[in-house]
């Protein structure tokens, strides 16, 4: 039986919201709950941030230099280690460069091998250097991995490599 627009019963206006309406409200409430949950559980949200990524190459010394600033955005001190992976789709994984040298599993460091360590309240510039390297122009991306002292991945951020 079809009802015209004007045939809507007044009882339906005061009826309970449908399941879809309840879900929409739950999503909004859920977002607020997630924000509170994240602040309570720092292992789900990282307090680390990476800025000022720079890469350079000294041709006559065949030395590759990478540096970036790791910044603590949380209220308490953070510690861990960092690993940089220079990669490209055109270069085999076995030829990717890791700073410091670590083994890669499926193109990523496991976190078990220690990279460049840090312990910060505010920020620190981390510097990496690799000798006897060819020009990094063959790489398109630098992936920075930040691990907690436990080996758990805190942050991964990719940077495009643009060499002159």
> Which pLDDT belongs to residue 13?
43
Distance separating alpha carbons of residues 76 and 22, to the nearest angstrom: 38
Q: Give the list of residues 6+ apart from residue 16 with CB closer than 8 angstroms, or none.
A: none
- Considering the domain architecture, whether residues 27 and 68 belong to the same structural domain is answered as no
pLDDT band of residue 27 (cuts 50, 70, 90) is very low
pLDDT at 59 over 70: yes
In a 10 Å sphere around its CB, with 0-12 CB exposed, 13-18 middle and 19+ buried, how is residue 67 labelled?
A: middle
Burial class (CB in 10 A: 0-12, 13-18, 19+), 21: exposed
- The verdict on 9 and 57 lying in the same domain is no
- Do 105 and 135 lie in a common domain? yes
Provide the token pair at 109.
Answer: 């460091």
More confident residue, 89 or 26: 89
My answer on whether 127 and 72 are in the same domain is: yes
**59 and 134 inside one domain:** yes
**Which residues are paired to 57 by β-bridges?**
64
Lowest mean pLDDT among 24-28, 51-55, 148-152: 24-28
Question: Of 43-57, 65-79, 99-113, 139-153, where does mean pLDDT reach its minimum?
Answer: 43-57
Predicted confidence band of residue 31 (pLDDT cuts 50, 70, 90)? very low
CATH number, domain at 52? Answer: 2.60.40.10
Same domain membership, residue 151 and residue 88: yes
* Cα distance from N-terminal residue to C-terminal residue, the chain: 73
**Residues 150 and 122 placed together within one structural domain of the fold:** yes
Q: Which residue has the tokens 């079809």?
A: 2
Mean of the pLDDT values across residues 136-145? 93
Claim to verify: residue 56 and residue 136 sit in the same structural domain: yes
Q: What is the pLDDT of residues 71-130, one digit of tens each?
A: 999 999 999 999 999 999 888 998 999 999 999 998 899 888 889 999 999 999 999 999
- Range of 149's domain? 48-160
| pTM strictly above 0.75 | no
Query: Lowest-pLDDT range, 5-14, 28-37, 69-78, 136-145?
Result: 28-37
User: Are both 30 and 54 inside the same structural domain?
Assistant: no
Query: What are the beta bridge partners of residue 89?
Result: none
Kind and range of the H or E run holding 8: none
Q: State the average pLDDT for the chain.
A: 78
Q: Are residues 154 and 78 in the same domain?
A: yes
Same structural domain, 83 and 115: yes
The count of other CB atoms within 10 Å of the CB of residue 109 is 24
Q: Are residues 72 and 118 in the same domain?
A: yes
CA 46 to chain centre: 9
* Percent of the chain's residues with pLDDT above 90: 57
Q: Into how many domains does the chain fold?
A: 2
Asked whether 82 and 70 are in contact (CB, 8 A), the reply is yes
């Amino acid at each position: 039986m079809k009802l015209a627009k004007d045939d809507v019963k007044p009882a339906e206006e005061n009826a309970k919201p449908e399941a879809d309406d309840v879900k929409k409200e739950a999503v909004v409430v859920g977002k607020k709950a997630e924000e509170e949950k994240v602040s309570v559980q720092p292992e789900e949200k990282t307090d680390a941030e990476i800025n000022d990524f720079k890469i350079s190459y000294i041709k006559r010394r065949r030395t590759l230099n990478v540096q970036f600033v790791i910044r603590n955005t949380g209220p308490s001190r953070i510690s861990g280690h960092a690993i940089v992976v220079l990669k490209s789709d055109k270069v085999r994984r076995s030829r990717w460069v890791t700073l410091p040298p670590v083994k890669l599993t499926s193109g990523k460091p496991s976190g078990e091998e220690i990279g460049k360590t840090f312990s910060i309240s505010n920020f620190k510039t981390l510097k990496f250097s690799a000798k006897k390297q060819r020009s990094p122009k063959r790489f398109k991306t630098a992936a920075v991995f930040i691990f907690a002292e436990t080996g758990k991945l805190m942050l991964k951020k990719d940077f495009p490599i643009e060499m002159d």
